[in-house]
């Protein structure tokens, strides 16, 4: 079977996984009546569409660890405990931060468009919109979302999950850029956009 056929069927599988995750968060909406599930429900639905229309792969990572880290950095969210909220200013402020992170995530995902992917695979370089400022705006938006979740539902376990998430995204960027740098176009992009995750910092 040709590689493009594998990719086609894999995209369908990813689409169904995204739809399952959307369904999972939809069930949370009825239980929580909070902002977080609405954000993730929309994002999972959006990614389900992008999996079906995204560009074909150009380069693949040869690192098994890179694939494992990428998958872990997608699913850690389900480890958060949303049962204990913080009844204070920090809880209220956290919901606002979550909303900002959600908007950033939606804008970043739409900016990436048909180059969207989960695994460390090169599908082209996107330089418009959010990608004019940092090279991995989606990951930054996830961390902003997580910071809001941590403020709203602070527990020591959630704090540890947040720290693990930060580490996962830093490592994921390393493996992802190892593949992206196989393209001259990405080297040109790196010269224009110097920061990976946080403008002016990293």
Q: What is the pLDDT of residue 39?
A: 80
pLDDT in tens, 9-31: 889 999 999 999 888 888 876 66
Separation of alpha carbons 51 and 86, rounded Å: 36
DSSP 8-state symbol, 196: S
In this structure, how many other beta carbons lie within 10 angstroms of the beta carbon of residue 132?
12
- The answer to whether position 33 is within a domain reads no
How many separate domains does the chain show?
1
In a domain, 4, yes or no: no
In a domain, 183, yes or no: yes
In the structure encoding, which two tokens stand for residue 34, read together? 């909070």
The pLDDT score that the predictor gives to residue 2 is 45
Classify residue 12: in a domain, yes or no.
Answer: no
pLDDT reported for residue 179 = 96
Domain containing residue 105: 58-192
- pLDDT in the model for residue 166: 96
**C-beta separation of 84 from 153 below 8 A:** yes
Spans in the chain with pLDDT lower than 50: 1-2
> Do the domain assignments include residue 118?
yes
In a domain, 166, yes or no: yes
Phi and psi torsions of 57, nearest 5°: -65, 145
Question: How many angstroms separate the CA atoms of 149 and 36, rounded?
Answer: 8
Q: How far from the centroid of its chain's Cα atoms is residue 137's Cα?
A: 9
Residue 154 located in a structural domain: yes
**Model confidence, pTM:** 0.89
Please name the helix (run of DSSP H) or strand (run of DSSP E) that holds residue 124, with its range, or none. Answer: none
* Contact call for residues 99 and 38 (beta carbons, < 8 A): no
Mean pLDDT of the chain: 89
DSSP E strand stretches across 46-173: 59-60, 121-122
Asked whether residue 21 is assigned to any structural domain, the reply reads no
| Ramachandran assignment for 81, one of left (phi > 0), alpha (psi -120 to 50 degrees), beta (any other) | beta
């Amino acid at each position: 079977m040709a590689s493009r056929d594998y990719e086609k069927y894999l995209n369908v599988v990813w689409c169904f996984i995204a739809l399952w995750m959307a369904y999972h968060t939809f069930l949370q909406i009825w239980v929580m009546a909070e902002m977080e599930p609405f954000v993730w429900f929309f994002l999972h639905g959006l990614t389900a569409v992008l999996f079906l229309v995204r560009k074909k792969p150009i380069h693949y990572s040869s690192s098994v660890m890179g694939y494992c880290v990428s998958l872990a950095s997608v699913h850690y969210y389900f480890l958060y405990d949303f049962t204990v909220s913080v009844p204070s200013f920090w809880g209220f402020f956290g919901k606002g931060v979550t909303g900002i992170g959600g908007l950033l995530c939606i804008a970043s995902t739409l900016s990436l468009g048909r180059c969207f992917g989960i695994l460390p695979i090169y599908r082209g370089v996107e330089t418009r919109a959010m990608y004019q400022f940092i090279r991995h705006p989606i990951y930054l938006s996830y961390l902003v979302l997580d910071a809001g979740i941590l403020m709203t539902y602070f527990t020591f376990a959630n704090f540890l999950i947040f720290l693990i998430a930060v580490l996962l995204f830093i490592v994921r960027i390393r493996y992802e850029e190892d593949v992206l740098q196989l393209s001259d176009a990405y080297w040109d992009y790196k010269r224009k956009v110097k920061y990976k995750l946080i403008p002016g910092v990293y």
